[in-house]
Chain A
Amino acid sequence: MRQYLIAGCAALMCGLVFTGCTKKDPPETTEPAGNGVVKIEFANKVGIGKLSLNDTWYVNDHGDSFKVSKFNYYISNVKLTKATGTYAENESYHLIQQDKASSLVFDLSDVPYGKYSGITMTIGVDSVRNVSGAQTGALDPANGMFWTWSTGYIMLKLEGTSPKSPSGSISFHAGGYAGANATQRTVSISFPTEITVAKDGVNHVHVEADVLKLFKSPNLYDFANTYNISTAGAAAKGFADNYANMLSVTYAGL
Chain B
Amino acid sequence: MKKVMIAIVAAGMSGMLWLAGCKKDEIDPRTWRPVSFEVPKGWPQPAYTFASNPLTFDGFELGRKLFYDARLSRDNTVSCGSCHQQVASFAHIDHDISHGIENRLGTRNSPMLANMAWHTSFFWDGGVNHLESQPIAPIVNPLEMDMTVPEVIDRLNADADYRSRFKRVFGSDTINSQRVFRAMAQFMGAMVSSNSKYDKYVANPGAGYFSEQEVRGLSLFRQHCANCHKEPLFSDFSFRNNGLLPKPGVNDSGRAHITGLAEDRYKFKVPSLRNIAVTRPYMHDGRIATLADAVEHYRSGVAAMSTTDALVAGGIVMTEKDKSDIISFLETLTDSTFITNPLFAEPAK
- Residues of chain A touching chain B, judged by Cβ–Cβ distance below 8 Å, are 130-136, 140-142, 146, 148-151, 231-233
Contact with A along B129-151 (1 / 0, CB 8 A): 11111001100110000001110
Q: List 10 A-B contacts (CB under 8 A).
A: A133-B131, A134-B181, A135-B178, A136-B176, A142-B176, A149-B123, A149-B128, A149-B137, A149-B141, A150-B128
B129 neighbours in A (Cβ, 8 Å): 130-131, 151
B132 neighbours in A (Cβ, 8 Å): 133-134
CB < 8 Å neighbour of A133 from B130, B150, B257, B258: B130
CB < 8 Å neighbour of B136 from A132, A141, A232: A141
Chain A residue nearest in CB terms to B131: A133
A232 to B127, CA, bound (A): 12
The answer to the question of B177 belonging to the interface, with a C-beta cut-off of 8 Å to chain A, is: yes
A231 to B258, CA, bound (A): 8
CB < 8 Å neighbour of B176 from A140, A148, A151: A140
Report the minimum CB–CB distance from A172 to chain B (whole Å).
17
A134 to B140, CA, bound (A): 15
A149 to B125, CA, bound (A): 9
Report the minimum CB–CB distance from A91 to chain B (whole Å).
13
Contact with A along B165-198 (1 / 0, CB 8 A): 0000000000011111110010000000000000
Known contacts A131-B129, A134-B132, A141-B149; is A150 also within 8 Å of B177 by CB?
no
Known contacts A134-B181, A148-B136, A148-B140; is A142 also within 8 Å of B131 by CB?
no
| Number of A-B residue pairs at CB separation under 8 A | 65
B245 neighbours in A (Cβ, 8 Å): none
The answer to the question of B7 belonging to the interface, with a C-beta cut-off of 8 Å to chain A, is: no
Report the minimum CB–CB distance from B212 to chain A (whole Å).
46
**B178 and A134 within 8 A (CB):** yes
A134 neighbours in B (Cβ, 8 Å): 130, 132-133, 177-182, 185
**A131 and B136 within 8 A (CB):** no
A151 neighbours in B (Cβ, 8 Å): 127-130, 133
Interface size on B, residues (CB 8 A): 29
The answer to the question of B153 belonging to the interface, with a C-beta cut-off of 8 Å to chain A, is: yes
A150 neighbours in B (Cβ, 8 Å): 127-128, 257-258
A136 neighbours in B (Cβ, 8 Å): 176-178
B141 neighbours in A (Cβ, 8 Å): 148-149
The answer to the question of B260 belonging to the interface, with a C-beta cut-off of 8 Å to chain A, is: yes
**A131 and B177 within 8 A (CB):** no
What 6 pairs between A and B have smallest CB-CB spacing? A133-B132, A134-B181, A134-B132, A136-B178, A150-B127, A142-B149
A228 to B182, CA, bound (A): 33
Chain B residue nearest in CB terms to A142: B149
B136 neighbours in A (Cβ, 8 Å): 141, 146, 148
A134 to B260, CA, bound (A): 25
B179 neighbours in A (Cβ, 8 Å): 134
A204 to B143, CA, bound (A): 47
A231 neighbours in B (Cβ, 8 Å): 260
A135 neighbours in B (Cβ, 8 Å): 178
B185 neighbours in A (Cβ, 8 Å): 133-134
A148 neighbours in B (Cβ, 8 Å): 128, 133, 136-137, 140-141
Report the minimum CB–CB distance from B163 to chain A (whole Å).
17
Known: A132-B130, A133-B133, A140-B149. 12 other contacts (CB 8 A): A130-B129, A133-B52, A133-B130, A134-B179, A136-B176, A136-B178, A140-B176, A142-B149, A148-B136, A148-B137, A151-B128, A233-B260
A133 neighbours in B (Cβ, 8 Å): 52-53, 130-133, 181-182, 185
B176 neighbours in A (Cβ, 8 Å): 136, 140, 142
**A142 and B260 within 8 A (CB):** no
A141 to B135, CA, bound (A): 12
Report the minimum CB–CB distance from A198 to chain B (whole Å).
37
A142 to B128, CA, bound (A): 17
A141 neighbours in B (Cβ, 8 Å): 136, 149, 177
Report the minimum CB–CB distance from B317 to chain A (whole Å).
38
Chain A residue nearest in CB terms to B122: A151
Chain A residue nearest in CB terms to B176: A136
**A140 and B127 within 8 A (CB):** no
A141 to B177, CA, bound (A): 7
A140 neighbours in B (Cβ, 8 Å): 149, 176-178
A132 to B179, CA, bound (A): 14
B52 neighbours in A (Cβ, 8 Å): 132-133
Report the minimum CB–CB distance from A126 to chain B (whole Å).
14
Chain B residue nearest in CB terms to A234: B260
A146 to B132, CA, bound (A): 14
B153 neighbours in A (Cβ, 8 Å): 142
**A142 and B137 within 8 A (CB):** no
Report the minimum CB–CB distance from B48 to chain A (whole Å).
8
